Amino acid sequence: MKKREFLLTWKRPMILELILKHLKDIVLTVVGLVGGGIVSLFFYRRALQRREISYATDVDRLIWSRGSAFSDIKLLYKGRKLFDPRKTIYYVWNSGNCVLNASDVASGNPLSIGGSNVRVLSAEIALTTREVIRARLDRSSNSEVILDFDFLDPSDGFVVELFYDIDISNKEATRVPRLRGTLKGSQEPPVSREVSFQSSLLNRLGRSVFLLGAFLLAGALLIFQAYEIGSEPTWLLIVPKVLTALLLGLVAIGVLIAIVYSWRAYRIPIGLKAERHKGPLPLTYTEMTEMLDRVNERDISKIHDLEERLTEVESKNLG
């Protein structure tokens, strides 16, 4: 009799009724399996070595007005007129998850800052996270600066202060030169970020609203699923609920890791935060004109010395 009752329970109407009764559990199980697979694939790819250079720019335009009040002002640098002089601070850092060596930068496309309409006047390394990374600049060209270093650990970086002039005749030309270059093993160029040293919890969460929402949703579903497991008397139906709960738990943990990683990777390293640099680059219009005057005086002095030497050589030859 018991065997016959057991067989009757598995007739098609009963199976359909069972499916409809537990449709919610079936849907959650399928969603958990698919979502868990997607999240697992996502974090597997994130766990792979990722080479990435990020940079942020802080621009100071030294002359803001081109009106009649400035029509009688003419700025010269080494005898050449300046059109739109600017000073830009570049924060450059390793935002990937592996060490970057100098050999990891493609020699055919090194890290550089510049452009066809840019005339570099002065450049220097203002700050580094550590002296041992040996960040340095190569100014072999007047239109660009090449960046080099020995190595960069994750979150290692340096600050470049660039004083340059923009050719305003080309209205479509770049006003703020981008950081260019190619890392071996990466098809992405250097990533431009916002200038942000914010470290408060509220500001960090503000950059991860989507991830935080996903974490809270996964946590709520996990709690609900745990409650369902405790209220389910049939052990056969507990298995998919437990599986779904485990997958939701993995999703919650993975999203939490992503939140922490996003806070770390996409902020400028705190080691590059410093007071306004007080180096040789000008900060104000007055400082800029004084610097240009000193440079012009040195150039004129060199020309006079050269003329005197040429005169002496000619005198000796004639004598």
pLDDT digits (tens, 9 = 90+) for 46-57: 556 778 899 999
Angle between helices 209-231 and 235-265 (to 10 degrees): 160
CATH fold for domain 54-196: Immunoglobulin-like (2.60.40)
Question: What letter would DSSP give residue 177?
Answer: P
Identify the residue whose tokens are 């924060």: 91
Q: Return the pLDDT at 121.
A: 87
pTM of the model: 0.57
Instruction: Report how far residue 211's alpha carbon sits from residue 239's, in angstroms, rounded to the nearest whole number.
Output: 29
Burial of 181 (0-12, 13-18, 19+ CB in 10 A): middle
Sheet with 144-148: strands ordered across = 136-138, 144-148, 112-114, 179-180
Identify the residue whose tokens are 């766990």: 47
Q: Per the structure block, which two tokens stand in for 9?
A: 């329970």
What are the counts of helices (DSSP H) followed by strands (DSSP E) for the chain? 7, 13
Instruction: Report how far residue 225's alpha carbon sits from residue 266's, in angstroms, rounded to the nearest whole number.
Output: 34
**Closest by alpha carbon to 125, among 151, 100, 145?**
145
Instruction: Report how far residue 246's alpha carbon sits from residue 238's, in angstroms, rounded to the nearest whole number.
Output: 12
Taking the domains of the chain in order of start, what are their residue ranges? 54-196
Average of per-residue pLDDT across 252-263: 63
Q: Return the pLDDT at 193.
A: 84
**pLDDT tens across 172-214, in order?**
667 788 999 999 988 888 988 877 665 445 445 455 555 566 6
Which one-letter amino acid corresponds to residue 240?
P
Q: Per the structure block, which two tokens stand in for 122?
A: 């002065």
